[in-house]
Amino acid sequence: MTEEQTPIIVWFREDLRICDNEALWEAANSETPVLCVYVHDQESPGVRPLGGAALWWLHGALRDLDEKLLGLGNGLAIFRGMAIELIPRIAQEFGASAVFWNRRYGAAERRIDAEIKATLRGQGKTAKSFSGNLVNEPWTLETTEGGPFRVFSAYWRAARTIGTPPHPLPPPRRLGPHRGSRGSAVGRVELDELGLEVSQPDWASGLRQSWSRGETGAQATLERFLEYGFHTYATERDRPDRSVTSQLSPYLRFGNISARAVWHAALMSSASRTEQGVERNLEKFLSELGWREFSYHLLYHFPDLAHRSYRPAFEEMPWRHDAADLNAWRKGRTGYPLVDAGMRELWHTGWMHNRVRMVVASFLTKHLLIDWRKGEEWFWDTLVDADQASNSASWQWVAGSGADAAPYFRIFNPVLQGEKFDPDGTYVKRWLPELAGLPASLINRPWEASTSQMAAAGMVLGETYPRPIVDHGYGRLRALEAVKKLA
Ligand code: FAD
């Protein structure tokens, strides 16, 4: 095989890994040189540009992928521009015989991929897509009536009848080198030229301390979870004060690990365990992967998930437009400690515990009666795992506007949620050091502290920590009244 031979292009997108990557595997086994390509496309109409935290993640994931590919004999060629123009042009320029990729599921992405496929075939080239992001492709599951699922439990029952997914593929042993992985070409850039790694102002230092990005980080994170979190997953996954959940979400989001690989690793780990509750932990964990799959099922069948309420009645909701309240929520200055701790965790690490995500989302859409889309947008910009399916589906679930949504009248009480899921206040104290001096019984209700308790804790309500921006009872009733008026 020579570097001059006709290559197969592997177009990486949300599958930034070498293990269990069907498109890469097929290309590597073809006995032709492989040209690995990534197109940084923030311009294509309809494709939602990535938010700041996700862009930061992308930098690390691309660097890691490039290193891994170089280890196989062939680095990553990065391009900037619109994929719809670049992919056929790159294929022509390098005389590629075929372009392979793993599928994406957003409406705009599917449209672009279909157009590219048609163009490539028009050029006489092969264009082939594979399954890489999900355990089950979204169209493979349907109700007995032949339609999409709207309820998670029914979806998951159907998904579980399919049985164990195929074993993940190993990384290819070697990639036939191609000259295109070096040298210049129109649109070709170096990773650093994309300017994804922030420096001034350096808001990403907390992110950097919190994560090791890319496939290397994914493997380490998975191993850590299986060793330290998995055995109490079912009973403790709702506790933000314990590091029990896997924290694999950004890795799954960028495909630094495949859902199939995570599934099999959990299966293998539970098979080798003898402690009580193994089956429960496994089932619970797999069902959370199932929520991710269900979110993609919803996105596939309801492409406007990020922009339109799934339940049309919610489009008439009298949302409040209160910039000051929205800002207080974003900054973690609502006066409700669990909400504020979550929002500061998000800002610092780019991630937030699931239970707390539910509480902060409920607080925004119910207590503050602010449109779920405002919250979704903030999460989109600040989460390292910002995902077009899971983020919109979860926001709509909490707001009550989604398929299989939490009933609107179930309004989380942020004080009781804090007391139940962070009983010693460990989580709140970690993110709100200004409350650390309060006893645990007051940590979620600092306004009830006496003058002497506040003094002893070095806290001045309204100065060192805000008063609640809305009364819980009042906010709850206002939300209930608003929803009652919907058709
Ligand atoms: P684990 O508990 O270890 O679960 C394993 C994996 O399952 C996760 O990595 C994730 O991929 C998936 N998963 C778990 N819970 C859910 C869920 N409820 N919905 C969909 N997938 C799930 N998740 C995202 O990946 N991206 C988002 O943008 C996102 N936005 C959210 C917004 C709101 C308002 C809410 C309430 C939830 C959101 N979630 C999102 C879902 C969930 O909070 C995160 O997936 C989870 O907290 C990630 O932590 P983990 O990896 O430790 O999860």
Kindly write down the DSSP assignment for every residue of 134-198, as one continuous string: -SS-GGG---TTSS---SHHHHHHHHHHT-SPPPPPPPPS-----GGGSS--TTEE-GGGG--S-
386 within ligand 1 shell (Cβ under 6 A): yes
Nearest in space to 69 (alpha carbons), one of 188, 214, 175:
175
Q: Which two tokens stand for residue 2?
A: 């020579």
Cα 82 to Cα 93: distance, rounded to the nearest angstrom: 16
Pocket test for ligand 1, best of 211, 232, 354 (most atoms within 8 A of CB): 354
Q: pLDDT band at 274, cuts 50/70/90? A: confident
Whose Cα sits closest to atom 23 in ligand 1?
390
Compute the distance from residue 461 Cα to the ligand 1 centre, in Å.
Answer: 34
Which ranges constitute the DSSP H helices of 311-444? 323-331, 337-349, 354-362, 372-382, 390-399, 414-421, 426-431
pLDDT at position 247 over 80? yes
Per-residue b or e along 382-403, where b marks 16 or more CB atoms closer than 10 Å to that residue's CB = bbbbbbbbbbbbbbbbbbbbbb
Q: What is the side-by-side order of every strand in the sheet holding 8-12?
A: 126-130, 98-102, 8-12, 34-40, 76-80, 188-189
Name every residue whose Cβ is closer than 8 Å to that of residue 208 and which is 6 or more positions away in sequence: none
Q: In this predicted structure, which of 131-140, 150-159, 194-203, 350-359 has the lowest mean pLDDT?
A: 194-203
pLDDT at position 404 over 80? no
Residue 311: count of CB within 10 angstroms of its CB: 16
pLDDT at position 426 over 90? yes
Task: Give the N- to C-terminal CA distance of the chain in Å, as an integer.
Answer: 67
Cα 117 to Cα 254: distance, rounded to the nearest angstrom: 22
CA trace torsion 202, 205, 208, 211 (10° rounding): -130
Give the nearest ligand 1 atom to 360 CA.
Answer: 34
Report the alpha-carbon angle 229-213-175, nearest 5.
115
pLDDT at position 3 over 70? no
Q: pLDDT band at 5, cuts 50/70/90? A: confident
Pocket test for ligand 1, best of 287, 394, 421 (most atoms within 8 A of CB): 394
Q: pLDDT band at 276, cuts 50/70/90? A: confident
Residue 337: the pLDDT is: 98
Compute the distance from residue 382 Cα to the ligand 1 centre, in Å.
Answer: 14
Report the relative pairing of strands 76-80 and 188-189 from DSSP bridges.
Answer: antiparallel
291 within ligand 1 shell (Cβ under 6 A): yes
Name every residue whose Cβ is closer than 8 Å to that of residue 22 and which is 6 or more positions away in sequence: 102, 130, 131, 132, 169
Cα 483 to Cα 487: distance, rounded to the nearest angstrom: 9
The set of catalytic residues is 288, 291, 319, 354, 372, 395
Q: Which two tokens stand for residue 356?
A: 């707390």
Residue 402: the pLDDT is: 86
CA trace torsion 424, 428, 434, 439 (10° rounding): -20
Q: pLDDT band at 181, cuts 50/70/90? A: confident
Query: Is the pLDDT higher at 201 or at 468?
Result: 468
Average pLDDT over residues 161-172: 95
Name the phi and psi angles at 397, rounded to 5.
Answer: -65, -50
pLDDT at position 2 over 70? no
Residue 176: the pLDDT is: 86
Name the phi and psi angles at 191, rounded to 5.
Answer: -55, -45
pLDDT at position 367 over 80? yes
Average pLDDT over residues 133-161: 96
247 within ligand 1 shell (Cβ under 6 A): yes
Compute the distance from residue 2 Cα to the ligand 1 centre, in Å.
Answer: 45
Residue 1: the pLDDT is: 64
Cα 434 to Cα 457: distance, rounded to the nearest angstrom: 8
Compute the distance from residue 183 Cα to the ligand 1 centre, in Å.
Answer: 40
Taken in order 65, 70, 74, 76, is the CA torsion positive or negative?
positive
392 within ligand 1 shell (Cβ under 6 A): no
Residue 464: the pLDDT is: 97
Q: Are 54 and 383 in contact (CB under 8 A)?
A: yes
288 within ligand 1 shell (Cβ under 6 A): yes
pLDDT at position 487 over 70? no
Could you tell me how many helices (H) and strands (E) the chain has, helices first? 20, 6
pLDDT at position 410 over 90? no
Name every residue whose Cβ is closer than 8 Å to that of residue 253 and which is 6 or more positions away in sequence: 14, 54, 57, 384, 385, 386, 387, 390
Residue 16: the pLDDT is: 98
Amino acid at 21: N
Average pLDDT over residues 300-315: 94
Q: pLDDT for 34-48, tens place per residue?
A: 999 999 999 999 999
Q: pLDDT band at 287, cuts 50/70/90? A: very high
| The overall pTM is greater than 0.85 | yes
Whose Cα sits closest to atom 37 in ligand 1?
394
Average pLDDT over residues 477-481: 96
253 within ligand 1 shell (Cβ under 6 A): yes
292 within ligand 1 shell (Cβ under 6 A): yes
